[in-house]
Amino acid sequence: MELSERIAGEIVMSEEPGKALRKWRQIFDISQKELTGHLGLSPSVLSDYESGRRGSPGVKMVQKIVNAMVEIDQNRGGGTLERYSEDSISEAIPDKREFTKGILAEEFIETIEGRVIGGKSRMRRILWGYSVIDSLKAITTLSSSDYLKVYGYSSERALIFLGVMYGRSPMVAIRSHPLKPGLVIFHQPGSIDPLAVELAEVEHIPLAVTDLPLDELFERLHKMN
């Protein structure tokens, strides 16, 4: 699947397509003025879509906007496209999979015998994949651009952190990055820092922990979808 199709699919399927559209425009580092100029639209139209003052842009308009962002990036040298087209799994990301159909966050948590500690109001979010992250290796080996590999084809996914002591660092990283996951899981953490729970609430991201043995966790993940 082409990157532009993956981005368009995420925007269309998002609960808040305007916010998803704005997120990707910011990731491509394109101003509203530049994008609407490329499209031949009034800046107010794009602003209304992103703010939610207009309804969903619709599939055709989303495709048109995404294609414009891709063309602008290509004219700049394709830096963003290159980062997002990489699909290798580093040692810091030992497992990453996409789902053929969405799974509710609450169903995902139930499957891995998780318990929710934050963000309980968003348990009906739809997930389209998951990524397992070795927290220590991620800190020592991943650059800011490598961080984009974590999200695969969609940011609406579960991020499962291994080797978590307090949970503060992963949630601070998520807070500071424009991409937001649909669910965060800590595997066999130590004492959870209250700030991690607070950030989950602020970002409206369900946060859960699981104590399953690692082999059992991977087995259950691989059986999903």
Give me the torsion for CA of 111, 112, 113, 117, rounded to 10°.
-110
Which CATH superfamily includes the segment(s) 3-85?
A: lambda repressor-like DNA-binding domains (1.10.260.40)
CA distance 87 to 66: 20
* Tally of CB atoms within 10 A around 69: 24
Span 90-111, pLDDT tens digits: 678 888 888 888 999 999 999 9
Q: Supply 184's token pair.
A: 């965060």
Q: Structure pTM?
A: 0.64
Span 122-180, pLDDT tens digits: 899 999 999 999 988 887 666 666 677 788 778 899 999 999 999 999 999 899 888 89
Query: What integer pLDDT is reported at residue 144 of this predicted model?
Result: 62
Residue labelled with tokens 């800011």: 144
Angle between helices 32-39 and 59-76 (to 10 degrees): 110
Task: List, in order, residues 6 or more apart from 119 with CB less than 8 Å away.
Answer: 200, 201, 203, 204, 205, 206, 207
CA distance 183 to 107: 11
Q: What percent of the chain has pLDDT over 70?
A: 92
- 73 has pLDDT over 60: yes
- What is the mean pLDDT of the segment spanning 177-191? 93
**Can you name the CATH fold of 95-223?**
3.40.1390
Asked if residue 172 lies in contact with residue 72, where contact means CB atoms within 8 angstroms, the answer is no
The domain ranges of the chain are 3-85, 95-223
Mean pLDDT of all residues belonging to the chain: 88
Q: Which residue has the higher pLDDT, 159 or 7?
A: 159
Helix (H), strand (E) at residue 8:
helix 3-13
Query: What integer pLDDT is reported at residue 64 of this predicted model?
Result: 94
Angle between helices 17-27 and 3-13 (to 10 degrees): 150
Q: Supply 15's token pair.
A: 């609960």
User: What is the 3-class SS of 134-151, one letter each residue?
Assistant: EHHHHHHHCCCCHHHHHH
